[in-house]
């Protein structure tokens, strides 16, 4: 883990406080910025710290889509009738047995209000839709499907609606705009900002009936700086995807992927500080695993197969659901089989990076190039085509919009982990928190004075196979705002 | 978690010690008993405590098979040439990315010696083999295959040998005999034994340069009893399978299974005590999941299919590997398809408890009863039979010994979790420890005076899909012995 963060400091050892605030926010990404603004607006004297030299965290590196719904202004303008209940049903189903129903309820019921809060801060959303099947909108249009809402089995479980809200900015530039907007709001409020400041450990006062977090020790300019937090500390220090030891320890399957998504500060230090104070880290084995096979959308007409020549997913699913399913396959190799036509603009438009493993004018040729059993391969393709002819994929329920005969010649992309394919990943575990962001101990009791939000906490998104784009920044800004408000209100 | 175990007590708060020993062992199952004996034999004054009224823990409830190898007396007598390296290669492969190579190395290199140690204590093993495909030997014969050594892919990765060592006792009665033998050794040594004693928290001395565990607070006869451990405390308090909250939190997929395997004391209290002292719990999401479909061995001639009519495992695999694969299947239902002949003595000999989901004289009839697509089902059966005819299962590599044509009429057993099938499970996470059993903190440093063994630690077995029967008791007794010795040697 992160060595110094594994211990706490007893307040009796603090000779003097260098700074004193009501609320101290550790980490200046989307969660921390939202926490600082909310705490300030609730009347607290706030300071925000980051180990980097500028604001942003992983939020600034992201697309900063936000997964929001229940009837936002943009959803309404685009003619979608979404409800908090539909959104709740979807998020409960997609987060499986780990779903935190209280958090999901609060998130869905508060989603429209959160959208409006962001708009008031100056975050721009255009009342328009981005209709392509894509991971993020590359235009300045706003609304798109960023999860599995329209695909099986979720289309059977909740009324689908697009809930990905892309910022009004061209290209994949939402992150800098989002953070820039929040940073401007922080500056306008005169909130104290400290950069190049590494949080070392929490300071705990054991003198009362119950222990209480009362401050943070930072390292700034090679000095230990003692910062008092009268009301609360909010840990918004990101996840642990950049800590190889922690990933090996908690989520070893993720190491089959290729690109950890986050900023270098995602070392789990916030989680370790919370645990040292008595918090509990949960869901640490789970992660988001992407197989970014679209765009181009035409690849969705293809089929994924394992080396048993079995399909394993409805290919109209979200790329993260496909990635998670891929890691569960028996055998080693994974291929995406495509019509040559649908391969079309793969090379120019794809993020997948999967090399061509083989092409074939007939099944024998392709099977030979892929080192698969030609009989099995033939049967698999025939089975799929049989469903296409019938207009129904009875095996995996891919939507009929994406059913198209596989017709020779075919091309196979090698999607086997470790053989060239691009597989970004990040972690989904963190501190157990109450709905208001209070860090809970092993007895489910809040640790006085300690809050966590964003990826340092275990929030709404909990499963790789149910993840949807925009839920991380949505949850980070929402949970940060909630935690900041709660920290400010403690007297 | 377990409330009181989530805190520690500062030694300065201890007014007086009620008892004083060199080594205090918490938990009197296989690990604790081994630790107590080893610590005593290393010259320490030892006491062993358990919350139950008698020795045993989960070991007494188990078959007490031991997974040992590298050339034990029994292996040699039965004509098997096993080596520590072959055993190491197998355990490394089967424990996947979580494998702890140092622990596996020590376990394999020390396996023959450990076998001899148990024999010296009086644990009886007959120089004979039990040749049936079974979960445990029901005769007094000793040696049997209890893992995936002979099945794909492991038969390609390490020379197979049977390593399950069943005690010389008829029926499934190894557990009581094993514990009885160890308990006799403990009594003969005059080791202090305390029952009906609940460990509440560890006592920590913070007065030195580094903190040190110096004792344990127990609740005995409704009194808090303070027990000093001069040299070390060894936590052998089992796993957390009986703690519903912890399983929900850490390993929610296990709750799809039906029967938690363990004793009522497996509440994770030992893990919680270690974490409260600064230890780290790892591998908490993993568990053993059994689908006990053999005996009768004839069921191995059948095939498992998911509701996509896909096979998903070589059916000659160990029942725990099949169970783990089952939980990874898309869709909901799982069936075991059998020839009527091979169903034969299922009802009288099986532990599986799977109800008959359907029978059929032809594919249309069976598909109708199972609510499967008859075309898919037909293709699946034809595919399998095609391989049988060829004598080679090219898809899943089931060994040719178990290939037999599926011929109408067929019967299908419903192995869907929650629909009657018996699915025992237990957890595989615990405290991170060094090879000598020292509990490690988040910086990989040993916590002075604190050791853990058995299921309270994260030992050799780490994955459900690579589990083998006998590895829990093998690891418990081995790691307990090692930790007891290490605790005794601290001066």
Superfamily of domain A1-288+425-491: FAD/NAD(P)-binding domain (3.50.50.60)
Q: Is the CB of residue B240 less than 8 Å away from at least one CB of chain A?
A: no
Peptide bond into A409 cis (omega under 30): yes
| Tokens, residue B424 | 């025992």
* Residue B308: closest C-alpha in chain A: A395
d(CA B448, CA A218): 28
B 119-148 → A contacts, CB under 8 A = none
d(CA A423, CA A287): 12
Q: Which of A96, A259, A113, A122 is nearest to A187 (CA)?
A: A122
B252/A96 Cβ within 8 A: yes
Q: What is the DSSP string of A367-390?
A: HHHHT--HHHHHHHHHHHHHHHHH
**CA atoms lying within 13 Å on the CB side of residue B271:** 34
| Among candidates B255, B278, B285 on the partner chain, residue whose Cβ is nearest the Cβ of A285 | B285
Contact yes or no for B487/B234 (Cβ under 8 A):
yes
Distance from CA of A283 to the nearest CA of B (A): 6
* Residue A384: closest C-alpha in chain B: B376
Query: DSSP character for A238?
Result: -
Contacts of B256 in chain A (CB under 8 A): 97
| Tokens, residue A90 | 């979807």
At residue A186, the pLDDT reads: 98
| Among candidates A96, A253, A373 on the partner chain, residue whose Cβ is nearest the Cβ of B97 | A253
| Span A242-253, average pLDDT | 93
A420 has a pLDDT exceeding 70 = yes
* Residue B394: closest C-alpha in chain A: A373
Task: Number of A to B CB contacts under 8 A, please give it.
Answer: 93
Give the bridge partners for B235, in sequence order: B26, B452
* Residue B210: closest C-alpha in chain A: A7
| Span A385-414, average pLDDT | 96
| Among candidates A96, A250, A253 on the partner chain, residue whose Cβ is nearest the Cβ of B282 | A250
Looking up tokens 């429209």 gives: A112
Alpha-carbon radius of gyration of chain B: 24
Alpha-carbon radius of gyration of chain A: 24
Distance from CA of B284 to the nearest CA of A (A): 8
| Span A367-395, average pLDDT | 95
Contact yes or no for B406/B337 (Cβ under 8 A):
yes
| Among candidates A252, A313, A325 on the partner chain, residue whose Cβ is nearest the Cβ of B98 | A252
- What CATH number labels A291-414? 3.90.700.10
Q: Which residues contact A136 (CB under 8 A, 6 or more apart)?
A: A63, A65, A144, A146, A164, A166, A172, A174, A469
d(CA A287, CA B481): 37
B280/A1 Cβ within 8 A: yes
| Span A349-357, average pLDDT | 91
Residue of B390, B393, B443, B463 to mutate, testing the A interface (most A Cβ within 10 Å of its Cβ):
B443
| Span A189-199, average pLDDT | 98
Q: Which residues contact A156 (CB under 8 A, 6 or more apart)?
A: none
d(CA A400, CA A386): 13
B442/A272 Cβ within 8 A: yes
B282/A308 Cβ within 8 A: no
Q: Is the CB of residue B396 less than 8 Å away from at least one CB of chain A?
A: yes
Contact yes or no for A239/A262 (Cβ under 8 A):
yes
| Span A24-41, average pLDDT | 98
ipTM higher than the 0.90 cut: no
A97/B249 Cβ within 8 A: no
Other C-beta atoms closer than 10 Å to the C-beta of A232 total: 29
Q: Give the pairing of strands B197-205 and B66-67.
A: unpaired
Contact yes or no for B307/A302 (Cβ under 8 A):
no
At residue A1, the pLDDT reads: 45
At residue B97, the pLDDT reads: 92
Contact yes or no for B263/B56 (Cβ under 8 A):
yes
d(CA B233, CA B19): 13
| Span A167-172, average pLDDT | 93
d(CA B128, CA B168): 10
Residues B247, B249, B254, CA angle at the centre, nearest 5°? Answer: 40
Other C-beta atoms closer than 10 Å to the C-beta of A221 total: 7
Cα dihedral A262, A268, A274, A280 in deg (nearest 10): 100
d(CA A414, CA B395): 19
pLDDT tens track for B414-469: 999 999 999 999 999 999 999 999 999 988 899 999 999 999 999 999 999 999 99
Q: Which residues does chain B have with pLDDT short of 70?
A: 1-4, 491
Q: What is the DSSP string of B371-384?
A: T--HHHHHHHHHHH
A3 has a pLDDT exceeding 70 = no
B375/A6 Cβ within 8 A: no
Distance from CA of B327 to the nearest CA of A (A): 10
* Residue B458: closest C-alpha in chain A: A249
A379/B383 Cβ within 8 A: yes
| Among candidates A278, A375, A395 on the partner chain, residue whose Cβ is nearest the Cβ of B376 | A395
Cα dihedral A102, A108, A112, A117 in deg (nearest 10): 40
Q: Is the CB of residue B170 less than 8 Å away from at least one CB of chain A?
A: no
Strands, E, within A31-124: which ranges? 46-49, 66-67
Give me the residue spans of the domains in chain B. 3-62+175-288+425-489, 66-169, 293-414
pLDDT grade, residue A390 (50/70/90)? very high
At residue B1, the pLDDT reads: 44
Q: Which of B442, B403, B443 is nearest to B152 (CA)?
A: B403
B396/A376 Cβ within 8 A: no
Q: Is the CB of residue B209 less than 8 Å away from at least one CB of chain A?
A: no
Taking domain B293-414, whether its CATH number is 3.40.50.1240 is answered by no
Contacts of B278 in chain A (CB under 8 A): 6
* Residue A286: closest C-alpha in chain B: B285
Q: Is the CB of residue B248 less than 8 Å away from at least one CB of chain A?
A: yes
Distance from CA of A279 to the nearest CA of B (A): 10
Q: Is the CB of residue A6 less than 8 Å away from at least one CB of chain B?
A: yes
A 438-457 → B contacts, CB under 8 A = 441-443
B 321-380 → A contacts, CB under 8 A = 325, 328, 330, 373, 375-376, 379
Polymer length of chain B: 491
A 44-73 → B contacts, CB under 8 A = none
| Among candidates B252, B283, B308 on the partner chain, residue whose Cβ is nearest the Cβ of A396 | B308
Contacts of A305 in chain B (CB under 8 A): none
Residue of B245, B252, B427 to mutate, testing the A interface (most A Cβ within 10 Å of its Cβ):
B252
A 295-314 → B contacts, CB under 8 A = 308-313
Fold entry, domain B3-62+175-288+425-489: FAD/NAD(P)-binding domain (3.50.50)
Q: Is the CB of residue B97 less than 8 Å away from at least one CB of chain A?
A: yes
pLDDT tens track for B272-329: 999 999 999 999 999 999 999 999 999 999 999 999 999 999 999 999 999 999 999 9
Q: Which residue has the higher pLDDT, A12 or A6?
A: A12
């Amino acid at each position: 883990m992160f060595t110094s963060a594994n211990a706490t400091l007893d307040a009796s050892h603090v000779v003097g406080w260098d700074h004193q605030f009501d609320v101290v926010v550790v980490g200046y990404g989307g969660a921390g910025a939202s926490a600082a603004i909310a705490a300030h607006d609730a009347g607290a004297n706030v300071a925000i710290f980051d180990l980097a030299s500028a604001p942003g965290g992983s939020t600034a590196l992201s697309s900063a889509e936000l997964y929001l719904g229940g009837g936002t202004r943009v959803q309404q303008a685009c003619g979608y009738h979404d409800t908090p209940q539909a959104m709740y049903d979807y998020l409960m189903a997609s987060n499986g047995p780990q779903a935190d129903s209280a958090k999901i309820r609060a998130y869905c019921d508060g989603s429209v209000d959160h959208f409006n809060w962001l708009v008031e801060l100056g975050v721009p959303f255009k009342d328009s839709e981005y209709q392509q099947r894509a991971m993020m909108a590359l235009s300045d249009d706003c609304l798109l499907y960023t999860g599995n809402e329209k695909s099986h089995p979720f289309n059977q479980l909740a009324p689908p609606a697009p809930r990905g809200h892309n910022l009004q900015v061209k290209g994949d530039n939402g992150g800098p705009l989002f953070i820039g907007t929040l940073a401007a709001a922080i500056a306008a409020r005169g909130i104290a900002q400290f950069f190049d400041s590494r949080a070392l450990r929490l300071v705990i006062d054991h003198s009362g009936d119950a222990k209480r977090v009362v401050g943070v020790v930072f390292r700034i300019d090679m000095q230990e700086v003692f910062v008092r937090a009268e009301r609360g500390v909010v840990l918004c220090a990101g996840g642990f995807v950049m800590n190889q030891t922690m990933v090996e320890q908690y989520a070893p399957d993720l190491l089959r992927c290729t690109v950890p998504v986050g900023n270098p500060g995602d070392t789990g230090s916030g989680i370790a500080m919370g645990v040292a104070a008595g918090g509990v880290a949960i869901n640490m084995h789970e992660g988001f695993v992407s197989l970014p096979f679209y765009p181009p959308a035409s690849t969705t007409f293809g089929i994924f197969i394992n080396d048993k020549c079995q399909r394993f997913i409805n290919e109209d699913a979200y790329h993260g659901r496909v990635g998670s399913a891929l890691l569960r396959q028996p055998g080693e190799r994974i291929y995406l089989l495509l019509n040559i036509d649908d391969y079309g603009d793969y090379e120019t438009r794809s993020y997948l990076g999967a090399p061509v493993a083989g092409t074939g004018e007939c099944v024998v040729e392709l099977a030979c190039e892929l080192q698969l059993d030609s009989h099995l391969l033939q049967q698999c393709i025939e089975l799929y085509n049989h469903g296409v002819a019938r207009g129904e994929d009875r095996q995996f329920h891919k939507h009929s919009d994406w059913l198209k005969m596989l017709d020779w010649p075919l091309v196979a992309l090698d999607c086997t982990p470790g053989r060239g394919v691009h597989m970004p990943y990040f972690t989904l575990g963190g501190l157990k928190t109450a709905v208001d962001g209070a860090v809970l101990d092993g007895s489910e009791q809040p640790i006085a004075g300690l809050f966590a939000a964003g990826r340092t906490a275990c929030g709404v998104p909990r499963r790789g196979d149910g993840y949807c784009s925009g839920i991380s920044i949505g949850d980070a800004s929402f949970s940060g705002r909630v935690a900041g408000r709660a920290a400010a209100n403690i007297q």
